[in-house]
Amino acid sequence: MTLRPLRLQESLLPALLLASLLLAAGCGAPPPSRPPLSTAYSIARDGYLHYRVPAGWFDVTADSQAHGNAIWLLRSDYAATITVNEIRIDSVAREEIRPQGLIPLARLTMFLSSKDKGALLQRPPEEFQMQGHACCSYELFVPSTGDILRTILLDSGEKVYAVSALRTGGANKAADLAAVQMEFLEALKW
């Protein structure tokens, strides 16, 4: 009688082993893939930022029509752009940003971006930290065109930049563009 329970346990051993292997394999799934960036860094027009270009995008910063942008990237299907522009603020405004954060500046840039387009606020300004630097993001939606503009203000310590990602007519693809914008932002160097 002592052999029978032993045989039962031995017959369950392969099944238990298989179940634990399947469970371990499911837990070891890789995290969602992030958009790859070029290995080489380029230098922004202002000479302050160094950036990498996302795969499937091309850099039009050197184009004569990009003269107002520190960085201008265009997706290969022409349906999305990422621009980086310095927000020039004087010393008085800089002193106000320190205690109040970037939300008042985000509200001002949000108003300037939306006033002529009839844009609606899709996501209100929200502050966060990236690589030890203050950031603030917001998102606008233009109902007449379906365009989505997601802007992240980045305080580098010396300068404040607006990193804007525009997706034309693509409310359903906004999450993809947000992932590319964040990957681009995380790779910035100054």
Q: What is the pTM of this model?
A: 0.79
pLDDT higher than threshold 70 for residue 52: yes
Instruction: Look up residue 148 and give its DSSP letter.
Output: E
Q: Distance between CA atoms of 47 and 44, rounded to whole angstroms?
A: 5
pLDDT band at 33 (very low <50, low <70, confident <90, very high): low
pLDDT band at 182 (very low <50, low <70, confident <90, very high): very high
Q: Distance between CA atoms of 26 and 91, rounded to whole angstroms?
A: 54
Cβ contact 133:155 at 8 Å: yes
Ranges of each domain in the chain: 1-30, 42-187
Q: Which helix (H) or strand (E) holds 104?
A: helix 103-114
Which residues have C-beta within 8 Å of that of residue 173, sequence separation ≥ 6? 79, 80, 167
Chain segment 85-137, per-residue pLDDT in tens: 999 999 888 888 888 899 999 999 998 877 777 899 999 999 999 999 999 99
Q: What's the mean per-residue pLDDT of the chain?
A: 83
CA distances in angstroms from 160 to 12, 64, 130, listed in the order given: 63, 24, 14
Architecture of domain 42-187: 3-Layer(aba) Sandwich (3.40)
Q: Distance between CA atoms of 156 and 68, rounded to whole angstroms?
A: 19
